[in-house]
Structure 1
């Protein structure tokens, strides 16, 4: 019965109990007071009646002479009169036998003197009166004919009736007081508990996560202070929860944006949380055995550990650290780092150093060898000396081109190459580039052709000259007894320049790497066909710096197509 636990019921019950106890005690005291009051009044009445009777006896100079008058007086008051003399004469308004029985009962009573009077009174239950209570009065009297004792007995029926009436009135008052107290208690408890119920509802809603609520302080008592304290608590909780949400979202955003995968494990090894890179690593599958073994080792040794392994052609490093809470180990956090690109970059760096060393060493060795031959006088004639000097010149030119290309490529990759944008006519530009290689083409029996509309586009003329020089030079290097064509096409916003040759072509497996630095497709195929190996890398960087794209299509033995696509208008760059 939940309603019995209500504060309203408890408060009402407490007030009602206290009021009831007070009223019951007050009722008892009032009834006792009224009873004592009435008895005291009756004692006084009996004492006065006794004095009147005694006066009557004395006036008639004897018991027998005054008995009739005395009986009339006592009958008026509804009292019983018994008067005895020394000679045992009895005068009474009841039967003599009954009077004698009453006298015997009166002798057993505890008599109490009446204040200021000669007589005594006693209260008791008399068998003569069917066990009912009665008030008795006795007093000695003296007449001319002798002395005796006078008894006046009055039943307490009237007092009991008066007391019963008072009792009913008091009980009615008590009942009305209890009803009034009940109404007042409910009113008071409602006034007290109504704001408490409001606060309770607010607390329940706060427990459900609604912290942005405020209670109205309707009073300045303890309940008002409680509402004010709740508002302060709610505000602080709302601030704390908001801060925690911000931290949680920030942490979640950081984890999502991390390039490294993060996996969180419980103490039992259960996977608790991951971020997108870790989910991509797991790909919906189980945790790798290497990671499980490392986790178990970390939990056992309670220190950070690192392991590297290869999976599906990719290289990973995993760092597992203990997860602590108040110096107690509750799990572990694994950071998964994909080192594939780093390894590839390291390999590229090593290849780059090796290629640069090779490309530099070859002309340097030839320079050193032929110069030593000239210095040592090993040439037999001026023609031989001239030939050696020519070779030294060619190799120095080759070395200079290599260094310049390296510098250009480094500037492009670092973003230091500035562009001087001009409007270029595509067909005259292509024909001018063909003219540069026409003589070398005649030597290799290679013809040139330019096709397409005369379109204008914006670009850096010098850098575009470098691009077409590298593309035409590569095409001519691997083409003999064939044809090289520059094909110009356009659409609404872009222009395409395609260098098409009928040369050796490129193996399919080498096509994706032709724009890498120092990459040479099929080293046996390129033997004797000199080049720096970074020309196409320069082409790719220049085209990308012009917001364009470069593509290659090739089939071994059937030639190649290098196509660059550029926007007709270059976007303005702001610092």
Structure 2
């Protein structure tokens, strides 16, 4: 484990080590001072005792130098006895020593036991303990000086100092190990918390710390676990909301772009892609965004992009004090424009389709009323034309009513089961006479398979398709072929007629297709909404219809019908 210089382990370890070292230093100094004072006090006691014995000898035995020398020699001390004359065991050094003694402040020493400690020349300038006492005898006034070198005390202190230093060193080593162990033990949970916090910051919210102790660190670990649990709940809730928002945005029909205050895209959905360039808003969006940012009010415009129409609504996002961004809602109004155009075209086409027979009816009826006809044959011919046009007008109205009922869902389909292999040939036989007149062969190939459908409406579908095929085929063949698939029946009606231009194929199932660009030749009995009825009837059967064609080769209509209709149909 690598310990950093600024880590808690290092700081705690150094703090304990410095604190213990300071305490040990203070204790060592106090102990050394105590030992030194203790030894000096002992020597003072010895000298005081020796002084008392010398005083007793002088009092009891008189001034006997030999006896004094013997007593002092036992204690290993030196002395000076002064009574007018000076006696000492110092030899020739006594004069110099007396000078030094006279310099001592004995009045001060009196308070501490009439002893003095100093460096005396008689002891080679080494420390010695001096003791002075004065007493009176019958023989006169005596002053006794006793001296004890401090070599023994220094040796004892040196030994004690060595022992203390070794003890302190050992204590510091033990303290170092213990402090390191203690600091690592204390900081191990903190390091675990640090790692857990870092991983939580990376998104791992399922981490939990062990709470082995009940102290502050244990409480901190428990608090972290509670916080991590709450964060996990909040993040999961945010993830769910984010997924819900993303799902809502994807399922919306409208495009949505959320921009921040710098016009950067924050949120978008696939429907907004037509007005995004490399992930950035289109110029028209940015222009409208700037207008909203300046006025902080909602703006709506309609734009045309790639042949499609879009309505843009930009709503500002305003915080407490400032503009925070905007939400752009993009609605594709191309279908609305197409429906508007269809409605316009429908009105124009229906007006044209109605005006032609009405003008014809009006013209011929006026001719009959005015007696313009010159013979009964002419009158009969005019009446026949009026009758044909009225039938055409009735078919147009009926087809429009049928189409309106089917598209509105008000037309109820009566589903029954019948054999498609019998149904298709029967419908085809109705056109034998018309086909033979134009030298067209009619062919049918269908399996005997039950299908659930509205027979009348399905017959209307194939009647329209076969009628259109005959009307736009001069000669050749019209063939209906049905094949079984897994869940339904695929029926193809193919003719060898004129064909339909490729650019007109997307519009063949629209109302009044005949009145527009294609299939303008042939029978004038068509209403132009037959294929629109075909598509709506097939859709009502939960099927599909499509067309493919090649000019000069022919056209194929393909219908897919399920074998069974959903139960709620």
Structure 1 length as normaliser, TM-score?
A: 0.83
Q: Secondary structure of 2:199's match?
A: helix
List alignment gaps of at least 5 residues for structure 1: none
Superposition pairs of residues 238-257 of structure 1, within 5 angstroms: 238-257=232-251
Structure 2 equivalent of residue 530 of structure 1: 525
Displacement after TM superposition at 1:217 (Å): 0.4
**Residue 443 (structure 2) pairs with residue 451 (structure 1):** yes
Displacement after TM superposition at 1:15 (Å): 1.9
Displacement after TM superposition at 1:519 (Å): 1.9
Displacement after TM superposition at 1:75 (Å): 1.1
Superposition pairs of residues 271-310 of structure 1, within 5 angstroms: 274-282=268-276, 288-310=282-304
**Deviation digits for residues 362-387 of structure 1, max 9, x if unmatched?**
55666778889999999999999988
Q: Secondary structure of 2:129's match?
A: strand
**Deviation digits for residues 71-106 of structure 1, max 9, x if unmatched?**
111011111121122xx32222221x4222222211
Q: Secondary structure of 1:456's match?
A: coil
Q: Secondary structure of 1:4's match?
A: coil
Structure 2 equivalent of residue 79 of structure 1: 77
**Deviation digits for residues 369-409 of structure 1, max 9, x if unmatched?**
88899999999999999888766665554444333322322
Q: Secondary structure of 2:531's match?
A: helix
Mapped contact 2:134–2:144 kept (Cα < 8 A): yes
Structure 1 equivalent of residue 6 of structure 2: 5
Structure 1 equivalent of residue 104 of structure 2: 109
Looking at structure 2, the residues matched to 90 and 511 of structure 1 have their Cα atoms a distance apart, in angstroms, of 152
Looking at structure 1, the residues matched to 550 and 293 of structure 2 have their Cα atoms a distance apart, in angstroms, of 56
Mapped contact 1:138–1:150 kept (Cα < 8 A): yes
Mapped contact 1:543–1:564 kept (Cα < 8 A): no
Structure 2 equivalent of residue 574 of structure 1: 567
Superposition pairs of residues 199-210 of structure 1, within 5 angstroms: 199-210=193-204
Looking at structure 2, the residues matched to 432 and 171 of structure 1 have their Cα atoms a distance apart, in angstroms, of 124
Mapped contact 1:434–1:448 kept (Cα < 8 A): no
Looking at structure 1, the residues matched to 158 and 361 of structure 2 have their Cα atoms a distance apart, in angstroms, of 146
Structure 2 equivalent of residue 93 of structure 1: 89
Q: Secondary structure of 1:3's match?
A: coil
Of 132-141 and 218-227, more deviation after overlay is shown by 132-141
Superposition pairs of residues 161-240 of structure 1, within 5 angstroms: 161-240=155-234
Looking at structure 1, the residues matched to 189 and 517 of structure 2 have their Cα atoms a distance apart, in angstroms, of 90
**Residue 144 (structure 2) pairs with residue 150 (structure 1):** yes
Mapped contact 2:427–2:462 kept (Cα < 8 A): no
Looking at structure 2, the residues matched to 116 and 433 of structure 1 have their Cα atoms a distance apart, in angstroms, of 150
Displacement after TM superposition at 1:140 (Å): 2.8
> For residues 483 and 173 of structure 1, do their structure 2 counterparts lie closer, same or farther at Cα, with a shift above 3 Å needed?
closer
Mapped contact 2:109–2:116 kept (Cα < 8 A): no
Looking at structure 1, the residues matched to 176 and 492 of structure 2 have their Cα atoms a distance apart, in angstroms, of 102
Mapped contact 2:419–2:448 kept (Cα < 8 A): yes
Looking at structure 1, the residues matched to 17 and 517 of structure 2 have their Cα atoms a distance apart, in angstroms, of 108
Looking at structure 2, the residues matched to 523 and 123 of structure 1 have their Cα atoms a distance apart, in angstroms, of 139
Displacement after TM superposition at 1:538 (Å): 1.5
Mapped contact 2:500–2:555 kept (Cα < 8 A): no
> For residues 406 and 484 of structure 1, do their structure 2 counterparts lie closer, same or farther at Cα, with a shift above 3 Å needed?
farther
Structure 1 equivalent of residue 512 of structure 2: 518
Superposition pairs of residues 410-425 of structure 1, within 5 angstroms: 410-415=404-409, 416-424=411-419
Looking at structure 1, the residues matched to 35 and 454 of structure 2 have their Cα atoms a distance apart, in angstroms, of 127
Looking at structure 1, the residues matched to 456 and 31 of structure 2 have their Cα atoms a distance apart, in angstroms, of 126
Of 230-239 and 458-467, more deviation after overlay is shown by 458-467
Looking at structure 2, the residues matched to 34 and 161 of structure 1 have their Cα atoms a distance apart, in angstroms, of 11
Looking at structure 2, the residues matched to 551 and 448 of structure 1 have their Cα atoms a distance apart, in angstroms, of 21
Structure 1 equivalent of residue 118 of structure 2: 124
> For residues 197 and 501 of structure 1, do their structure 2 counterparts lie closer, same or farther at Cα, with a shift above 3 Å needed?
closer
Superposition pairs of residues 321-336 of structure 1, within 5 angstroms: 321-336=315-330
Mapped contact 1:430–1:486 kept (Cα < 8 A): no
Of 262-271 and 292-301, more deviation after overlay is shown by 262-271
**Residue 35 (structure 2) pairs with residue 34 (structure 1):** yes
